[in-house]
């Protein structure tokens, strides 16, 4: 018997059955940091592709809503709220993404997807002026009532 939740006793991949679990209020928060040169930080409001921060915020929200289409075996969830906030910092852009639902499974994948896609969008919009950017994404909170 496998200890992995997405693998059955024969080793086949499966979607976890959450049908018997009660619907519970759930929230998750993820964080991403896009590191870039100080000169790039100074240009964020005036990039060749346009407003990176607003575009990344919208991209993150849209991505959270489509997580089950992007991540195999992820349950589609009725999201009640998605928030994506971007803050310009000295070393780059800090992104906080939250997702909320009342469902039978958690929303950490939605929060992580929102943060990751927002980071990818900042990267895409600034890559013409900074070839040395990097980013990281992490889950910072997972709650249920």
pLDDT, tens digit, for every residue of 44-96? 988 888 899 999 999 999 999 999 999 988 999 999 999 999 999 999 999 99
6 confidence band (pLDDT: 50, 70, 90):
confident
For 21, other C-beta atoms within 10 Å of its C-beta total 11
17 confidence band (pLDDT: 50, 70, 90):
confident
6, 26, 36, 37: which is closest to 110 by C-alpha?
26
Domain boundaries, the chain: 24-144
2 confidence band (pLDDT: 50, 70, 90):
low
Residues classed as catalytic:
124
122, 143, 145, 142: which is closest to 133 by C-alpha?
122
Contacts of residue 121, defined as CB under 8 A and 6 or more positions apart, other chains included, come to 52, 55, 56, 59, 60
Least confident segment among 5-19, 37-51, 84-98: 5-19
Least confident segment among 12-21, 100-109, 118-127: 12-21
Least confident segment among 4-8, 39-43, 59-63, 135-139: 4-8
What's the pLDDT at 1? Answer: 42
Q: What is the mean pLDDT of residues 123-130?
A: 95
What's the pLDDT at 5? Answer: 73
CA of 78: how far to CAs of 25, 99, 113, 118, in Å?
A: 11, 10, 15, 21
Cβ atoms of residues 26 and 80 within 8 Å: no
**CATH number of the domain at 24-144, out of 3.40.309.10, 3.30.70.640, 3.40.50.970, 2.30.30.180?**
3.30.70.640
Q: Does the predicted model carry a pTM greater than 0.75?
A: yes
What's the pLDDT at 124? Answer: 96
What's the pLDDT at 132? Answer: 97
Residue 10 has pLDDT above 90, yes or no: no
């Amino acid at each position: 018997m496998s200890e992995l939740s997405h693998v059955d006793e024969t080793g086949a991949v499966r979607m976890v059955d959450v049908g018997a679990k009660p619907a519970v209020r759930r929230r998750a928060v993820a964080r991403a940091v896009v590191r870039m040169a100080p000169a790039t930080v100074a240009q964020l409001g005036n990039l060749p592709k346009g407003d990176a921060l607003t575009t990344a915020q919208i991209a993150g929200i849209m991505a959270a809503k489509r997580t089950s289409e992007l991540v195999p075996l992820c349950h589609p969830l009725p999201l009640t709220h998605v928030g994506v906030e971007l803050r310009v910092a000295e070393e780059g852009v800090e992104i906080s993404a939250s997702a909320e639902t009342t469902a039978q499974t958690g929303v950490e994948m939605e929060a992580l997807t929102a943060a990751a896609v927002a980071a990818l969008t900042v990267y895409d919009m600034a890559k013409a002026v900074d070839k040395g950017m990097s980013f990281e994404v992490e889950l910072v909170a997972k709650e249920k009532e």
